Structure 1
Amino acid sequence: MDETLDSRRRLALAGAHNVRDLGGYRTRSGDITRWGRFLRASSMHLLTDDDQEALVQYGLRTVVDLRRTDETASEPNVFCRSAQVAYHHLNMIGDEGLETELSQRYAQELRAGARMEGDADRIAYTYCGWLDQRQSMVRDILQTLAAGPHAALFHCAAGKDRTGVTAALLLGLAGVPEETIVADYGLTARFSVDHYQTLPGANPAVRTWEDYQRESCPPQTMQMVLDHLAQDYGGCEGYMRAVGLGQEEIGRLRDGLLA
């Protein structure tokens, strides 16, 4: 059975299309990641009252919003003033033009003759730039997720890029095989293509989730990111130590991840 397609994986909510539990993944040592502890998601700004109540009943007590300041201002998270859920805005990539800088550097690499192979390379280059240049913020995100014993949800806009990198770090720490981490990243396409097709400027050639995956979240992208983490930091746990997490915090994250 494909673990990514477990019927418990996706939470069916009216106001968010890509809300998923990281539970149910088998690790290399034979453990199973815990259901109901870490959730990854797309934007929360359209959640209905019933959606919010369903998440609270699911055990949600912490929300980490990874979006930029302009995104949170225009589409505020419905939990930002909640009395039941602690809301944390931790801007993963910042508002200072990092995306533009990384795009320019990528273009320079291409002009210099670097071997790049389309969208997967371009996206991976961006993700690795976040991991390398926003380490203090990634540390704050992981520390916040480690803090409590209850369900914590982290999200960006589409639940794909910033959220996908954060999910990969957690699953990697738990010892989930790389092929499963890669598959979890690519799963966004299945749950997002219908929403994507409603957006202004959507590519009309994107008709299926496979089309969307090739264009927006090709699995080989995440494999490149995992390779970068292994080569430069010794893996996900090594990266966490490098950004400043202590062994106790790493232990709390691991304990939260494993059933």
Structure 2
Amino acid sequence: MQPKFRNAALALAAVLAVTVSACVGNRPRFEELAPVSRPEVERFGELLRVRWPASFSLGSVSVFAGTDPNRIPREKPVARTLALATAVTVKGLDPSNRYYLELVPGSGGSSRIVAERRLPLQGTDNFRDIGGYATQDGRFVRWGLLYRSNNLADLSNDDLRYLTRLRVRLVCDFRSEPERRRDPNRSPVENAPETAELTIQVEGVDPGAMQERIRTGVHADELETIMLNAYRSFVTEHSDQWAAMFERLSDTNSLPTIVHCTAGKDRTGFASAMVLLALGVPEKTVFEDYMATNRYREGYNRWISRLVPIYSLFRTRGSDLEPLLAARRPYLQASFDTIHEQYGSVDAYLEERLGVTPEEREQLRQVFLR
């Protein structure tokens, strides 16, 4: 490539990076937020916007805050609404601490504990708490016990202090050894969590090899096939790692736990889905949690899609990467279909292949549900 064209490409890449970074920083205004099907919390700077369905309360709603989801003090609410309101803004809470909010309806219904789904870390955009989801028997997954994330290599010092306050005891790392060498995790020094290296290396999907394929030219249909095969292989080739994960989660001394891979989307998405299904969360909700990655990584994916044509000298289009970057329902469905083809049901897969007996599932539910 001639120097003048190389310099032009680098300049254009820099412009794109600045432009997209600016777009990533934009957050929706309150009035743009769609109605919700369950209580939710979203951060806007130092403010927390709390919303709930109209059916949650016909009267006022009082909001109480605490740093322990099991002991939220009710001496004084941090916010209170008028009747028929479906949202409230909470301010004055220290953003360096993780707060859990208890919503108490004035109409006499049951209270709900909610928190930010994505934690406000600077060095990762897909670090989430899987708490708060309702199960089929009317219970709720406890907040603050299991987190899912992309890689932890870029955590800031403030992020590490934040994680220290979460008291994380275990990190399940599904990345391959080359991925770990390339991007070693950062971990809190004080009360550092144990790391379980549950390596899941899928042919054709390793980030290093994929980067080279993108550079030399790759098409969307090829990537879609690779991803579908990867999700099938989670069941056919990597069940030992999921079994090891469940064994660790069954030990309360391992909680809270972080499960993660590189993007926090595929390997982590399947792991999170299996845990939620084992706890009795409906499949519809499991898909919602899985697809939420698209929302949280939207800015990053947009940036990569604009940059990759330059990186590949236009051998690969930005749109060609969509099957690789997105969390697509057919991918996770391919895993579920493979489970049903080989084991008949998720329950049978959990018990026969992952070693999670009905008794052990009930023990998990006693710990993870409220």
In which range does the TM-score fall when normalised by the shorter chain?
Answer: 0.7 to 0.9
Taking a change above 3 Å as real, the CA distance of residues 85 and 4 of structure 1, as seen in their structure-2 partners, is farther
Greater CA deviation, 148-157 or 240-249?
A: 240-249
* 2:118 matched residue in structure 1: 10
Structure 1 segment 69-108 matched on structure 2, within 5 A: 69-79=177-187, 83-93=191-201, 98-100=202-204
- Equivalent positions of 1:1-259 (< 5 A) are 1-3=36-38, 6-7=41-42, 8-79=116-187, 83-93=191-201, 98-100=202-204, 123-149=227-253, 150-199=255-304, 201=308, 205=318, 216-247=326-357, 249-259=360-370
Distance, in Å, in 1 between the alignment partners of 2:151 and 2:163 is 14
How far off its partner does 1:20 sit? 0.7
Query: More helix per residue: 1 or 2?
Result: 1
SS at match of 1:237: helix
Letter in 1 for 2:168: L
- Match of 2:257, SS state, is strand
- Give the secondary structure class of the aligned counterpart of 1:63: strand
Structure 1 residue 224 displacement after superposition: 3.5
Supply the distance in 1 between the matched residues of 2:240 and 2:230 (Cα, whole angstroms): 17
Structure 2, unaligned runs of 5 or more: 1-35, 43-115, 206-220, 310-315
Q: CA deviation at 1:22?
A: 0.6
Q: For 1:138 and 1:70, locate their aligned partners in 2 and report how far apart those are by CA, in whole Å.
A: 20
* Range that drifts further, 124-133 or 150-159: 124-133
Letter of the aligned partner of 1:73 in structure 2?
R
Bigger shift: 168-177 or 124-133?
Answer: 124-133
Q: Distance in 1 between matches of 2:147 and 2:138?
A: 21
Q: Larger RCO: Structure 1 or Structure 2 (Cα < 8 Å, ≥ 6 residues apart)?
A: 1
- 1:81/1:235 Cα in 2 relative to 1: closer, same or farther (>3 Å)? farther
- Greater share of strand: 2
The superposition leaves residues 123-172 of structure 1 with CA deviations (integer Å, 9 ceiling, x where unpaired) of: 34321212111222221122123223521000000000000000010011
**What is residue 113 of structure 1 aligned with on the other side?**
none
Shift of 1:79: 2.3
Structure 1: 5+ residue stretches without partners: 102-116
**Among the aligned pairs, what percent are the same residue?**
26
- Residue 183 of structure 1 and its aligned partner are, at CA, apart by 1.1
Whose radius of gyration is greater, 1 or 2? 2
RMSD: 2.9
Name the counterpart of 1:107. none
